[in-house]
Structure 1
Amino acid sequence: MEDLRLCPFATPDGKLHTAPLYRLLLAAQGPSTPIAKFVWKNHAFFASLLVQGRIQTRDNLLKKHIVDSACCEVCGRAPETATHIMFECPFAAAFWHSLGFDVHGATTAALDRIHRPGHVPTQSFETLVLLCCWQLWKRRNGIIFRGEDMTQRQVLIACKTDADLWRHRIRSKDRVVCDRWCTLFSMAM
């Protein structure tokens, strides 16, 4: 018997359209923080998955029987969890250290509890952390899927580029924050 169920998020031939579903989910949740409007949508979705531990790390893929090992393909030293990729992997730890952050004991489930160094602006601090996590995730994916091993300097340049792009999305009186982020990334290079 043919399946006659209807889905408002599918085309008549049964293909799922995820964009309307994503918009519905966002509308139901509403902005989780005052900075949510400031962050680009793909970054906000990434942040949501990150803090919930739902990004597609090897430990999550192992639970789904997609991979045979949870070992981090970047460093080969530990299981690849979201927290490992963002804070514990040697590259990530060195990256944060270059920015003056102490991320020892930091977790992705508690991004809002990361200690803010004194030289980093208080305003939109969580967004800065998210920007850095986004670039670390992109670096990991570049290594895994394209064989691109970005150096720390290249990741810092990518962070600075994003900060400069975000600068144009916020009120002019708040742009000084992005300028300070750009300076932070430049000084770490």
Structure 2
Amino acid sequence: MAASPINTGADVRRLHHAAAPRGALSSSAAYSLTRVGGVRAGYATMIWGSRDPSCMKFFCWLLVQRRIHTRDVLLRKCIVSAEVAGCPLCSTTPETADHMLFSCPFAVEFWRRVDVAASGITVCKLVALATAVVVESEVEFALLCCWQLWKHRNAVVFQQQQPSIARVLGCCREDAVLWR
């Protein structure tokens, strides 16, 4: 695969999807991005209406749209090869968002320890369950757990930390207390 040349000229990219006349940012145009075909996406209220920190909301928004950079996405974008597209925690190929959060043996053990039956759960099912749940704290806790599993995965990949369920549980506990 040939490398793309680096453009040394002026940045000519534009923010088309949320732009007003003359290229300025438009909050109404940005708001319309929460709608799919003119109909508000059901998960938009669940995510953006939660009391979670903005960084976690953004992660969840990317997660439900299958845009977080798990190795299957990186493989599709030709950033990694098929040989290294496996899960960094269990070496299952390929690492998908569903695998990372719900079916990786590490994630299964994590959910077992927080007393949640994650067998057969996918991101789509989580969104469907979360939008049907009346108790907001349960939705926020599920999103918090997904966020912490993602951060832990990144620490293993980028900082060469050893996988530790105790560390993830501790981070979830600390954040739940902070955000309460």
TM-score (norm 2): 0.72
| Partner residue, 1:139 | 152
Label 1:3 to 1:153 Cα distance change in 2 as closer, same or farther (>3 A). closer
The separation in 2 between residues aligned to 1:162 and 1:23, in whole angstroms, is 30
Alignment of 1:25-36 (within 5 A): 27-28=31-32, 29=34, 32-33=45-46, 36=49
More divergent stretch after superposition (72-81 vs 53-62): 72-81
Label 1:66 to 1:132 Cα distance change in 2 as closer, same or farther (>3 A). same
Report how far residue 78 of structure 1 moved. 3.2
RMSD, aligned α-carbons: 3.1
| Partner residue, 2:72 | 59
Output the amino acid matched with 2:92.
Answer: R
Report how far residue 53 of structure 1 moved. 1.1
CA contact (8 A) 2:48 2:57 kept: no
Deviations 1:136-179 (A, max 9, x none): 00000001000012411111110011101111xxxxxxxxxxxx
| Partner residue, 2:102 | 87
Report how far residue 4 of structure 1 moved. 10
Label 1:26 to 1:125 Cα distance change in 2 as closer, same or farther (>3 A). farther
The separation in 2 between residues aligned to 1:44 and 1:4, in whole angstroms, is 28
Output the amino acid matched with 1:159.
Answer: C
Report how far residue 26 of structure 1 moved. 5.2
Deviations 1:61-116 (A, max 9, x none): 0001110022112210231000000011111000001111111111112313459x
The separation in 2 between residues aligned to 1:124 and 1:98, in whole angstroms, is 18
Report how far residue 3 of structure 1 moved. 7.9
The separation in 2 between residues aligned to 1:123 and 1:41, in whole angstroms, is 16
Report how far residue 51 of structure 1 moved. 1.0
The separation in 2 between residues aligned to 1:76 and 1:153, in whole angstroms, is 21
The separation in 2 between residues aligned to 1:136 and 1:36, in whole angstroms, is 22
The sequence identity of aligned pairs, in percent, is: 37
CA contact (8 A) 1:52 1:109 kept: no
| Partner residue, 1:165 | 178
| Partner residue, 2:40 | none
CA contact (8 A) 2:47 2:57 kept: no
Aligned residue pairs, count: 151
SS at match of 2:49: helix
The separation in 1 between residues aligned to 2:100 and 2:125, in whole angstroms, is 15
1:71 aligned to which of 63, 78, 86: 86
The separation in 2 between residues aligned to 1:35 and 1:21, in whole angstroms, is 19
Report how far residue 56 of structure 1 moved. 0.1
TM-score (norm 1): 0.69
The separation in 1 between residues aligned to 2:158 and 2:26, in whole angstroms, is 25
The separation in 1 between residues aligned to 2:163 and 2:25, in whole angstroms, is 34
